[in-house]
Structure 1
């Protein structure tokens, strides 16, 4: 059975951990009432995780374009292969769309994004109180879509590991 390359595996697991962490922080920070130092710290961490996902997703996509993924096993039905392909495409789109929507939501709120507190990112749009609620909704729903796609991805991996036992999941394990 062919495996993914070491860089692809590293990108996969780093991005997965960052997405789970950013999602968890997003849930926790939005439940904290008012403006507190803890809430502001979590917002910063959430943004830093999002920017890091965007950077790693870019590197991952470039790696993927230069390196073919291992073929699916012959035991996978054609519809399963197509479903896996489309889910992977959706995950790639959302790995870019979620952080970008959060970035533009933050800018529309009039808050600069300063990566790790030292590197100010470009301000591509001015503060816009009319656009802010729309971008907040877009970011929320794209995030929920990403959570659903990740859940489906995990369920499929577990199906391959414990029901099909076809080695598909082993291709991405370190």
Structure 2
């Protein structure tokens, strides 16, 4: 099953979900690790380049995922869910999508604003241009500082949303005993409450 149905996710949506989950967890771990390294060390430079490269992959996948989602709506939420849970699920997903764009874009802007003017070369192959940094952010040093804070706070907010997302999936599986988690793991026919 390639496309979503009213009761389950298709293969494309499942691949998007788990590929992006792996990339995001890796990016968050790498981001936390590399910020404690000496900034002028060559290994640190390589890790930052890798972080930026994967960030562009996340941005591209998030864009493709939005296109897929708009052309291929998600399955219905379980019938037994309370209205407040449905609202929380929708707001949580919106928040995740916003952050999937906000983090790579704020990182790209931060690099573009840096007075160091370090180029971004994706996977040591494809050079990426710097973005125009809005004047209201101040000079390069001020803009870089503001964007660094935005990037860091967005990462912490993403971690909190991911934790809530995981807890909600486990709650559906172990407490509500519905198919919410199962349908993101398998494309087979869904059983249980829908």
TM interval, shorter chain, is: over 0.9
CA distance in structure 1 between the aligned counterparts of 2:184 and 2:102, rounded to whole angstroms: 24
5+ residue gaps in structure 2?
1-5, 134-138, 187-194
Structure with more of its chain in helix, by fraction: 1
Kindly state the Cα deviation for residue 8 of structure 1 after the two structures are TM-superposed.
Answer: 0.7
Partner residue of 2:140 out of 120, 125, 128? 128
Match of 2:185 in 1: 173
Post-superposition offset of 1:122: 2.1
Which one of the candidate residues 106, 120, 124 is aligned to 1:101? 106
Asked if residue 139 in structure 1 is aligned to residue 144 in structure 2, the reply is no
Q: Is the 8 A contact 1:160 1:168 kept in 2?
A: yes
Structure 2-normalised TM-score? 0.85
Instruction: Compute the displacement of 1:34 (Å).
Output: 4.0
- Kindly report the root-mean-square deviation, in angstroms, between the aligned alpha carbons of the 2 structures: 1.4
2:169 matched residue in structure 1: 157
Structure 1 runs, 4 residues or longer, greater than 2 Å off: none
Higher Cα radius of gyration: 2
TM-score, with structure 1 as normaliser: 0.95
State the partner residue of 1:33: 38
Residue by residue over 1:22-51, the C-alpha shift from the partner in whole angstroms, topping out at 9 and shown as x without a partner, is 110001111113422221121111111111
- Check conservation: 1:107, 1:113, Cα contact below 8 A: no
Shift of 1:111: 2.1
Residue-pair matches, total:
174
